[in-house]
Amino acid sequence: MRSLRVRLSAALLAALLAALLSISFETVRRADAVLGPEIERKAATLADSSAALIGKALALGIPPDRLHGLDAHFARLVAENDDVAWIALEGPDGAPIQIVYAPDGERTQTSGVVSRAVPRAEGAPPLAISVGLDPAFARDVVANLWIDLAIVMFVTAVVALELIYVGLGDGLYAAIEGVERRLHNIQRGDLRSHQPVEARGEFGALARALDGRIEKVHAAYAQIRDRAMESGDRAARQALEMLQDRFGLGQMLGTAGAGRVMAVRAPLFVFMLAEELTRPFLPGHVRALAQAAQGEGALAGLDPAFVAALPMMAFLAVVAACQPLLGGVTERLGRRRALALGGAIGLVGYAASAFADGLVPFAALRALTGFGFAMVFVGAQGYVIDSTEPAQRSSGMAVFISAILVAGVCGPPIGGILTDRVGVEGTFLVAGLFAGLSLLLAWLVMPDAGPVRAAGPAIRWREFGRVIASPSLAALFFLCAMPAKIILVAFCFFLVPLQMEALGATQAATGRMLMIYPIVMVLLVPACARLADRWRARAGFVAVGGLLAGASAFALSAGGADDPARIALMLLGLGLGQALSIAALSGLVGDYGRRHAAEVTEASVYGIFRLVERTGNALGPPVAGALLGLYGFADAAMIVGGAVMTCAVVFGLAAAALRPADLDVEGVEG
């Protein structure tokens, strides 16, 4: 289904682009009609204003050729008014006698010229101010929207890709996916049998027809192999083994798994999108609330940047604290009900956040939303585990993780565009609608498996002690996992949005900036994971990734904090570093767990690992807020980056020094 989904999205994108071009050309035409007369009126006012100013100077006896500063005045007017192409002081014949200001030095073709006489004493030669109108103004207004529109189209195509499962339904989706997989495998010469497709309808029938052909080959192969066994013909047996290896005859592919797992993708994606919509504006909004609260005497003495971090910390701390506890709760509730409940809590949390005008109520609502977020996250993760055998767990988790990453790519730019147009309150309401939609999707799309008896808590505290007592696991958790989350949250969720606001960037620009990290992750994580496994160098990837992520902050050195390109470079470096380390880190947890905490189950080791990561998430905002208040953006980022680099170096040295006695990697499948 993967290639078909990509093709469907490409088709959708093509249709949308064509429609968008049509709308934009129509808008340019309409904009000309609406803006044209207004531009002329404004030019007339500009000319009147300048003529009056020059008239006053002339009335004081200053000759027209000694009007010092007039060129600077004209330059300022042209620079400040995008609709003005040039401005000139002209003599009686229309030729410029004194000053012409145009960005390219001469009067260009314009859509019109507005002239006004300069008031002069009687008998003095007449002078006029002429203002040339920029013919491209209306077109530029629409062209400037194209970045936003392109993002809307891109996000739409991605959303279509995510929701295609919902549109087709469980059975049809599985049938189409089954047919496509069979055709793909047959083309590659992979003739292993597939799990049967149960769906009725044409695609189900086609899948079964293909299975029929494949089964016929398998049956023929089995017959020939049996005959060869009976006859004891070694040459034939060897040739048949080669045939079996080439075509996978007599073998069966594992359960697809992904088909059932796909049911959770749409509700998870839509809920995550709701949270991601808030990324560009949240730090600035909370800081404004914090400043208002401090203006009323609350939390006096604390830096506003630190106070602004508190509601963000409330959200992340609730997520961190609830995740270990919610595993059992979502089991008892049933995963579908858990997701629906999380969606409902999110709906209330986001919608109420739109109307919260105080720091404390807002922080409380963020905490409530964090509870809903944790419920959806844990419920979806549990659903993937319930729906897959251990052998398909990785591919199931890939569906889960990619839904979150894709939401991370789509949410911030759309959130920024919405905030610029409908404000923070409107964007919170849209986020609430998305949370409500995730509730609806969970109810419509996910199967109701019903509650099951909880298998016990995911993490037992005595196991926590055992895991932390292992130096290798402790080093991995506290020198790699936790710093990785602190730097991610500090940079992407807190420092960068605030700095972009300080630079006067629009929320849409901030949202585009925040796309850099998830795009790098989506593109590079699979390749980095494969390389780390193939080269058996997970520890190296973790150390180098941490080093690179930390070093990214130094893109801001020497005055780079005010340069959006340097901030983008920092996020690119962070993404590259974390793309290198994230999958290797996760794999290393299992490796170290098996080797150094064998008495603790792998699920517990991973549970503790996730808890440490979430704690890092929760620490990110207060650490960044405190440093921002004390040292400013660039230094705060470089201190966090430097600390992450130090942790990575210490981990790398420890990994090298203790290898293979303690920190070596074993059991990495090639």
Partner 1 sequence: MIRLAARTLPVFAAIIGFAMALAAYLNFSGVRTAYLDLVRSRAAMIAGDIAADASAAQGFGIRLAEQRTLGELLARQAATDPLILTIDVAGPEGRILFSSAPARIGALETPAGEDPAFRQSEPVIGALGAPVGEVLVRLDGATMDATVAGLRRDVLLGAVPAGLAAVAAGCLLALALLSRLRARARRASAAEHADMIAQAENEMAGFRPSARR
In the region spanning residues 401 to 440, those forming contacts with partner 1, defined by CB under 8 A, are 417, 421
Closest CB to partner 1 among 56 and 332?
Answer: 56
Q: Is 209 in the site for partner 1 (CB under 8 A)?
A: yes
Contact stretch for partner 1 (CB under 8 A) within 178-186, 402-410, 549-557, 609-617: 178-186
CB of 391 to partner 1, least distance (A): 25
568: tokens are 């983008």
Report the C-alpha gap between 325 and 44 in whole angstroms: 69
The Cα–Cα gap between 3 and 177 comes to 10
Site membership for partner 1, residue 238 (CB under 8 A): no
In 3D, which of 414, 420, 466 has the Cα closest to residue 157?
414
* x-marked contacts with partner 1 along 182-201 as a string, rule CB under 8 A: xx--xxxx-x---------x
Residue number with CB closer to partner 1 (216 or 332): 216
Question: HSE on the CB side for 670, CA within 13 Å?
Answer: 1
* Interaction pattern, residues 80-109, with partner 1; x per rule: CB under 8 A: -x-x--------------------------
* Shortest Å distance, C-beta 405 to partner 1: 20
Q: Measured from the CB atom, is 18 or 565 closer to partner 1?
A: 18
Q: How far apart are CA 620 and CA 475, in angstroms?
A: 19
Residues 275, 280, 284, CA angle at the centre, nearest 5°?
110
CB 380 within 8 A of CB 263: no
Interface pick for partner 1 out of 69, 123, 234, 559 (rule CB under 8 A) = 234
Residues in a beta bridge with 100: 88
Binding span for partner 1 by CB under 8 A among 157-165, 270-278, 279-287, 495-503: 157-165
Site string for partner 1, 111-150 (x = CB under 8 A): --------------------------xx--xx-xx--xx-
Site for partner 1 in 518-557 (CB under 8 A): none
Name the minimum Å distance from CB 246 to partner 1.
8
Nearest distance in Å: CB 252, partner 1: 16
Q: Cβ distance 11 to 153 under 8 Å? A: no
* Residue (41 or 66) nearer to partner 1, CB: 41
CB neighbour list of residue 32: distance below 8 Å, 6 or more residues apart: 138
Interface residue with partner 1, options 2, 22, 136, 440 (CB under 8 A): 22
Tally of CB atoms within 10 A around 544: 17
CA of 2: how far to CAs of 199, 272, 398, in Å?
19, 22, 13
Q: Which stretch binds partner 1 (CB under 8 A): 164-172, 453-461, 534-542, 582-590?
A: 164-172
Instruction: Give the one residue of 227, 530, 534, 659 binding partner 1; rule: CB under 8 A.
Output: 227
- Residues 555-558: contacts with CB within 8 Å, 24+ apart? 556/633, 556/634, 556/637, 556/638, 557/634, 557/638
Which 55-84 positions form the footprint of partner 1 (CB under 8 A)? 81, 83
CA distance 16 to 13: 5
Cα separation, 66 vs 569, whole angstroms: 49
Kindly tell me which residue out of 114, 179, 579, 634 binds partner 1, with binding defined by CB under 8 A: 179
656 near partner 1 (CB under 8 A)? no
Of 233 and 296, CB closest to partner 1: 233
